[in-house]
Every structure is written in C-alpha cells, then in structure tokens.
Amino acid sequence: MQPNLAQVLNTLAHEIRTPLAVSQGYLKLYLDGRFTNVEDTRKAFEQTRQALGTLATLCVDMGKVSALSESASPHGVPERITAADFLTSLRAADDVAGASWQEDAGDQVAAPGDIAPGHHRDLVQAVAIVAKAAFDEARDQPHVVKREVGKELIVLAGTAASMPALQSGPEAVDARAVDFVKGGKGLKLIWAAFVLDLHRVHTWTHSEHRASVGFRIPLVQA
C-alpha cells in the first residue's frame, strides 16, 4: 500500500515544478524591467512569495514522509482510544468539515472494541486527508461520511450514490486500490498512505465511483 520511492520522487518533482516555474518567471520579468508600476511589481512579488511558501511546505511534508518511510515512530506515546472517540475527532477534522454524516442504527450501541494502540492524531488526519481527496473528485456533489462499527470500524466517504458500492468492501470485484500519488495533492496523500499502513488500515475505492473511499480500521476487543 505504501507508495514506492519512484512514486514519491515523481510526485515531489511534479509538485515542485509549478511553484519553481512561477518564482523564476516573475523574477525574470522583474529583472528584465517588464513591470512598469509599483502595483504590478507588488502583485508579482506576492505571487512569488506564495510560490516559495508552497516549496517550504513541500520541504516540511518531505521530512514527515521520510521519517515514516523509514518506519520511524511518530513523536509521542502510542495510545489506545475507543472507536467512538476516534469518530468524534474525525468529524471535527478540518478536511471533512461540512460533510454530512449518515448514521447507522448499529452506531447507537457501544463500540465492541478500541482502536489498536497508535498515534491517533496522525490517523485521524490521514483518514481526513484521503476523504477530502475523494470529496474533491465529487466537486459539487453532496458529501456523505458513513460509519459502521462491528469487529472492525468501517468508515465510508464519498457521495450518497457511492455508498452501496463501497459497502461491498475491498474484496469486491469492482473494488480497486486508492491512488495516493494523485497530482496536485502535494505529499499529503503520500504521508497519509504511510500513516494508514502503519496503523494497518485497509483502504479501497470503486471502479465506477472515483469520488469515494472506504477505510477498514482494526479494533482490539475489550
């Protein structure tokens, strides 16, 4: 499930290319004397500042990916939390803010177990990042996050129309692997892939529903 080195490097090269080209382009125009007034110069340098900020963010993300790819433990002590607490944190995550949640009748009963010890702030963020990528594919379609609790915690994210297909699980004929190296997502998806792998989370999507993703999170019986 983890992206390989070639995928990481290709993604990094793709993400660096645009902000680097923007910075070089505006600086060349400035040095060539193409800006004739203060306002044009200010706008150009603001665009350059934003592009350099993107490069700085990529450097930070690359450090995080590097640490995880070497199986380095994240900072902090691994913790064990309930499925309910995890879902509460997920609903509060910025990347899924505004999504509508479809509750299952089974959610009203106590969770049968806890999520295995791990770094759950990272796990919440990783699930939210991947769900947001699916939501971006949906564009203006309604977002739905559906949760199920059984021997495993199942979180399904996407459109209402994709829910039945996702429920068939990662073993279904039409299920396919999630693309963690989508262009335009920076290194966030790659970082999320490593975090999900460290927490033994299975992910899948559906061949006919690109704007969807399922997560199967193992639980430890109480």
Q: 31: which 2 tokens?
A: 């040095």
The mean pLDDT value for 87-99 works out to 89
Q: Is 59's pLDDT higher than 60? A: yes
The yes-or-no verdict on residue 46 having pLDDT over 90 is yes
- Residue % of the chain over a pLDDT of 70: 86
With H, G, I as helix, E, B as strand and everything else as coil, classify residue 216: strand
Q: What is the model's pTM? A: 0.78
- Looking at the predicted structure, is the pLDDT value of residue 105 above 70? no
The pLDDT value recorded for residue 33 is 87
pLDDT for the residue 131: 92
Residue 222 has pLDDT above 80, yes or no: no
Percent of the chain with pLDDT over 90: 16
Task: Go through 111-133 and write b for each residue having 16 or more CB atoms within 10 A of its CB, e for each that does not.
Answer: bebbbeebbbebbbbbbbbbbbb
The answer, yes or no, to whether residue 74 has pLDDT greater than 60, is no
- Using CA atoms, how far residue 208 sits from 145, 147, 213, in Å, is 18, 21, 12
Q: For the chain, how many helices (H) and strands (E)? A: 6, 8
Neighbouring CB atoms inside 10 A of 213's CB total 25
Q: Per-residue confidence at 71, pLDDT binned at 50, 70, 90?
A: low
> Looking at residue 155, what is its pLDDT?
92
